[in-house]
Amino acid sequence: MAQTCLAALTKAAFLLAAPVVLGGTVQEADSEPSSSAPKLAPEVAALDLPTAPLATQEFIVDDSERMTVPVRINGSDPYPFIVDTGAERTVIANDLGQLLSLSDGPELRLVTVSGPTTVNSYRVGELSMSAVNIRNLEAPALKRRNLGAYGLLGIDSLEKHKVRIDFTKNLMDVLPSKKKRNIRRVDRNTIIVNARRRAGRLVLTDATIGGMRVDIVIDTGAQSSMGNRALRKRLGRSQRRLDYVQVGLTSVTGERIVGDFTQIKEIVMGGLTITDLPVTFTEQHAFRALDLTRRPAMLLGMDAMKLFDNVEIDFANKRVVFQLKKRSRLQSPLRLALKDPSAL
């Protein structure tokens, strides 16, 4: 059955995870002036982004559940880039670099889900979107069909900012972040989780699964959450909702790997709990690059973040702020919609 399921999932790597986005639930652990958004370049004008304030970018969710925002390259028309807080580098699509006649850069080493690889790059004089303006960037060049957009905004473009995502209004703010000693909880529906920086990414350290401590990396570029082999090895049957199902994954370089899919019954992060979260386990080379292979760790993807009304990822203050959905504590857990994976 595993091989049958893998073949059926070749076209959509995380197809199994999609029906479960509404299945996860969140609860508190201790409780019950504007301007028109720029028109996109002719090649992507069909996306038709609505209006947004100056320091706010309207985002859309693409077919893979990742966010895209309009980005200008050297003053060009705007093109949709995926916001990827788990990516070390900002990446540009090959065809966009050619279209904009960008200068060739050096070969660069890139770590993806399938492992390290060496790719060509482009020299970008200026990359801009609202409050973000980056100069003199060397961006790895990859195929657009594998990226799912015209580029990725990595932490080299975001690390001095805070990314604020409002899922209720489909808005994302990318704002300068000033270091503060203390950030107070503004209301009972807001949970602040402290993090540490590791290779630029934010890693939540106050997280557990069944009492087992787990490092969690915030990754807006992943449509589904992923776990490392150390977590899979220590995850007991009582801590997951179903038996493992083998699925296929595709990296941004187009390479294929195999993973084991399941649902984790309960993940506690700071003052909140996520239940029935879909997770795929694989030999994720990103964990190796972050030195997170020997102890349990996972990448928290968009399927988990969409369970909240708002998420703020503050790189300067090393904190992630989650705002609970108004009725999150009233929702009953839903189970995996796809009962028989072999039926695919």
**pLDDT tens sequence across 181-208:** 666 656 678 888 889 988 889 999 889 9
3-class DSSP state of 226: strand
pLDDT (tens digit, 9 = 90+) per residue, 284-342?
A: 677 888 889 999 999 999 889 988 999 999 998 999 999 888 754 334 333 333 333 33
**283 or 299, which is more confident:** 299
Surface-to-core class of residue 53, CB atoms within 10 Å of its CB (0-12 exposed, 13-18 middle, 19+ buried):
middle
Measured over the CA atoms of residue 306, residue 339, residue 32 and residue 206, the dihedral's sign is negative
Q: What are 55-97's pLDDT values in tens digits?
A: 445 555 555 456 778 899 999 999 988 888 888 889 999 999 9
* For residues 25-53, average pLDDT: 40
DSSP assignment of 79-148: EEEEE-TT-SS-EEEHHHHHHTTPEE---EEEEETTEEEEE-EEEEEEEEETTEEEEEEEEEEE-HHHHT
Whether the predicted model's global pTM rises above the 0.85 cut: no
